[in-house]
Amino acid sequence: MVRKWALRAVIAYFLFGIAMYVYLFFLTDTSIPHMYKGTSIDPATFLNSRELMLSEEYSKIWNLMFFLAEPYQWLFYYLILLFGISAMFERWAGKTTKWFPLQTIIYLFWLSLASFVATFPFAYTSYLFSRTYNISTQYFSSWMKDQFLDFWISYATMCVVILVIYSMMKKFKKKWWLAVWVLSIPFSIFMMFIRPVVIDPLYNDFYPLKDKQLEMKILSLADEADIPAEHVYEVDMSKKTNALNAYVTGVGSNSRIVLWDTTLERLDDEEVLFIMAHEMGHYVEKHIYKGIAGYIMLSFVGLWLTAKLMELWIQKRGTVWKVNSIISISSLPAFLLITSILLFAVSPLTNWVSRYQEMRADRYALETTEDRDAAVRTFQDLTRAGLSEVNPPYLVKIFRYGHPTMLERIKMADEFERESD
């Protein structure tokens, strides 16, 4: 029975992969509408023939890998339950100590290590693919260092989070999800507060912007937006990528304005100012706080659903999985599987909200800088640097895109120009 269910799960994964391959490579049309041919939206006007070819190839493969990654993680969680591996990890932890917190820490180490090993080929393939298309500039040793950092940071965070969750399960048999939801709110805000100053510097070097004239222009924009920032930070991302980015991160006194050095090297000052005005638009529109409010509402529903589904699933399959009850730490893969599926299922909604906010930030940047040419050049340069599709397939847009498509962004800038004129 176990082998039969495992075989079914593996076959389902491969059939899904084939379906997505056919959809992305044969059933979708990513060309722009005829009415935009020859305009600033048309990639043929700002990409050369090689860039057009690479963009099409890269986007299709990268999109396929995206759609394969999440179900691959689900398959891992399901098989580790089905073959009793999770229960085995719990037994190992139980033989080491009778103290529940230490049992949980030991169990999480084995589960995290198994997940790291199982997903490493996938992660390494993604790394090689990015190197091949010259998106990543990172040496293997540096990439592995980041992988180990990811592992230990994720492991440490998981130890805290899972200890709290299973302690609440033991204390509140039926309403544990409500207690977890309440505790998750201050924890999430705390992580947002410390990430810019504690976690991010572990991966990259941050230092004050070298171009002081540009810094003064950016801080002038920040002052108009009432952003409490005294410095603009530059980060040495060129060691890892050719992509471009900038962001405003943190909350309160830990707010930071950050520019990737790749952005500074490849964009002119007007484009940099447009990008920074866009990021500041998020601050002005209070998107961080609206995002927190949205997270609070979605996590309430999500944890309630997870609790109900997990209880039903353990009752039905717990014997096969050798998982005695929901409060057994060996039930964790079921918790992670359900929450991951729910997050993926709700991603079209969260991405839609994100795209709306990004469009609002674009409009703020246009109104603030009054430089529509810079906006169009910025979007074109971002397309070139990331080998992005101007008009991606529908499923890619709703499941992957937290930003509007480049077609939508350039079109909005063009319409803004006509409105202003």
pLDDT tens string 175-215: 999 999 999 999 988 887 788 778 888 898 898 888 889 98
The average pLDDT across 341-366 equals 96
Tell me the mean pLDDT in the region 220-228. Answer: 81
Q: How far apart are CA 90 and CA 108, in angstroms?
A: 9
CA distances from 216 to 232, 246, 273 (A): 9, 16, 11
Report yes or no: 30 and 43 within 8 Å, Cβ to Cβ: no
More confident residue, 271 or 224: 271
Residue 191: per-residue pLDDT: 83
pLDDT category at 66 given cuts 50, 70, 90 is: very high
Contacts of 296 (CB under 8 A, 6+ apart): 185
State the catalytic residues.
Answer: 279
Residue 207 forms beta bridges with which residues? 234
- Give the integer Cα–Cα distance in Å for 286 and 90: 44
**Rounded mean pLDDT, 65-91:** 95
Q: How far is CA 373 from CA 51, 243, 259, 297, 309, in A?
A: 22, 21, 21, 39, 52
DSSP 282: H
- Where are the chain's structural domains? 2-204+286-344
> How confident is the prediction for the chain on average, in pLDDT?
92
Say whether pLDDT at 47 is over 70: yes
Residue 177 near residue 306, CB atoms below 8 Å:
yes
Report the alpha-carbon distance of residue 343 to residue 388 in Å, rounded.
24
Averaged over 20-39, what is the pLDDT? 94
Whether pTM > 0.85 for this model: the answer is: yes
If pLDDT is split at 50, 70 and 90, which confidence band does 353 have? Answer: very high
Instruction: Please compute the mean of the pLDDT values over residues 266-291 and round it to a whole number.
Output: 91
